[in-house]
Amino acid sequence: MKIGFIGLGKLGLPCAEVVAQKEHDVTGYDIIDVQTELVQFKTTIQECVRDREIVFVAVPTPHDPAYDGSAPTAHLTPKDFSYDIVHSVLKEANAYMNKDQLLVLISTVLPGTVRREFVSLVTNTRFVYNPYLIAMGTVAWDMVNPEMVMIGTQDGSETGDAKQLIDFYKTIMENNPRYVIGTWDECECIKVFYNTFISTKIGLVNMIQDVAQRQGNINTDVVTTALAQSTQRIMGPSYMKAGMGDGGACHPRDNIALRYMAEKLNLGYDLFDSVMNARERQAENMAIEILKYGNRIKFSSDSYKPDVEYVDGSYSLLVQHYIKEHGGWIVQDKPSVYVRVHETDNIPEGDFIVFDPWRTYKGPNKTIGYGNTRHS
């Protein structure tokens, strides 16, 4: 195939070269002269995109230099990435491309950016968002051995554009990756939350290291290895479905108690406070959303998990607390909204709206699938 790469930097050049090594015809453009024997270097975007079937945009979305993490940033005002380079490149590429060509953005952006900032710039050609999971130092290998390939389209459907991109990737992949097709916004989320998931994981295990150092009589590796080998709940797909929050006699209580430990050991930070604050704000957010559909609310259960009567640490009761705090009533008869607490809870037919945090309820009632705004 005839492939173009706009941006031949730390990401674009290794990717362009590995595509060329797979016997595709590859052109490339950058604002500086790039020495490469595999890619046909062009001095303008117009030359780079001419007659190309697929054009990848691999330009930076830089942050302010003070925000790269090599110096303290917690005291700084939060800032988005800069999208000036992407804006400029998309406008120029669009001017020289047509509907027979596919323009593919792989640069990292925050959720909502493509829809808000970029799609209005691409009017002459077709467009998908396709961020990469790539680490510096192994870019070429990661390009053809990805854990998954994310392809974002306007409505998340497998369009002809998505299929064309998948067909291309099948010619270069050395493994057999998953292909995840979602909206532009969903793919933006997958990319950035994949990275921050790793950051969170590292922050947690390094906190164990700090506790070991301050507490004494602890070998960090014994603790982290035991956790790493726990595949039933920790290292695996368990607890990766959003819905009602954490509850029970152990989890909330342990996090609250560990706040005391963080203060006692003078760690200088408290992840547990952030976890519990997030839990409470998430419950309040859900309560506020429920009240948009009525103020007489019935919950399918007060328990913290299915098929038990225990209410210790119940997230259902926490959401009910915020329902009442924001002016709603918890009722048993004639509800306006019926909240499905557990995914297995059956909801009787009635004159009410079903509010389903699990997004799986199938029934005759009007249903609000909390967390699915794709079709709203």
Domain boundaries, the chain: 2-183, 241-376
Summarised one tens digit per residue, pLDDT across range 123-167 is: 999 999 999 999 989 999 999 999 999 999 999 999 999 999 999
Q: How do 367-369 and 353-356 pair as beta strands?
A: parallel
Contact 131, 151 (CB under 8 A): no
pLDDT band at 376 (very low <50, low <70, confident <90, very high): very low
Summarised one tens digit per residue, pLDDT across range 265-304 is: 999 999 999 999 999 999 999 999 999 999 999 999 999 9
Helices (H), the chain: 12-21, 45-49, 84-96, 113, 139-144, 160-169, 184-215, 220-228, 251-264, 271-290, 315-325
What strands, in cross-sheet order, belong to the sheet with 40-42? 40-42, 25-29, 2-6, 54-57, 102-105, 126-129, 148-153, 178-183
Whether 233 has a pLDDT exceeding 50, the answer reads: yes
Bridge partners for 28 per DSSP: 5, 41
3-state SS class at 253 = helix
Which residue carries 């706009």 as its tokens? 6
What is the mean predicted confidence (pLDDT) over 31-37?
95
Q: Return d(Cα 329, Cα 337) in angstroms, integer.
A: 11
Say if residue 155 is exposed, middle or buried (CB neighbours under 10 Å; 0-12, 13-18, 19+): exposed
Q: How open is the CA angle 11-13-18, to the nearest 5 degrees?
A: 100
Bridge partners for 271 per DSSP: none
What is the mean predicted confidence (pLDDT) over 84-97?
98
Dig out the tokens for 306 from the structure.
């299915």
pLDDT (0 to 100) of residue 249 = 86
Q: Do domains 2-183 and 241-376 have the same CATH topology?
A: yes
Summarised one tens digit per residue, pLDDT across range 178-202 is: 999 999 999 999 999 999 999 999 9
Whether 312 has a pLDDT exceeding 90, the answer reads: yes
Which residue carries 């997230």 as its tokens? 315
Whether 315 has a pLDDT exceeding 90, the answer reads: yes
What is the mean predicted confidence (pLDDT) over 163-176?
97
DSSP, res 316: H
Q: Return d(Cα 59, Cα 7) in angstroms, integer.
A: 5
Architecture of domain 241-376: 3-Layer(aba) Sandwich (3.40)
Phi and psi at residue 306, to the nearest 5°? -65, 150
Q: Return d(Cα 347, Cα 364) in angstroms, integer.
A: 10
What is the mean predicted confidence (pLDDT) over 247-258?
90
The radius of gyration of the chain from alpha carbons, rounded to an integer in Å, stands at 25
Which residue carries 């998340």 as its tokens? 156
CATH number of 2-183: 3.40.50.720
Summarised one tens digit per residue, pLDDT across range 317-337 is: 999 999 999 999 999 999 999
pLDDT (0 to 100) of residue 80 = 94
Phi and psi at residue 243, to the nearest 5°? 180, -135
Q: How many residues does the chain have?
A: 376
Bridge partners for 5 per DSSP: 28, 56
Percent of the chain with pLDDT over 90: 92
Contact 291, 327 (CB under 8 A): yes
Contact 15, 67 (CB under 8 A): no
Whether 375 has a pLDDT exceeding 80, the answer reads: no
Closest CA to 245 of 314, 344, 325, 343: 314
Helix (H) or strand (E) segment spanning residue 52: none
Dig out the tokens for 186 from the structure.
């969903």
Inter-CA distances, 354 with 20, 139, 316, 363, Å:
53, 47, 15, 9
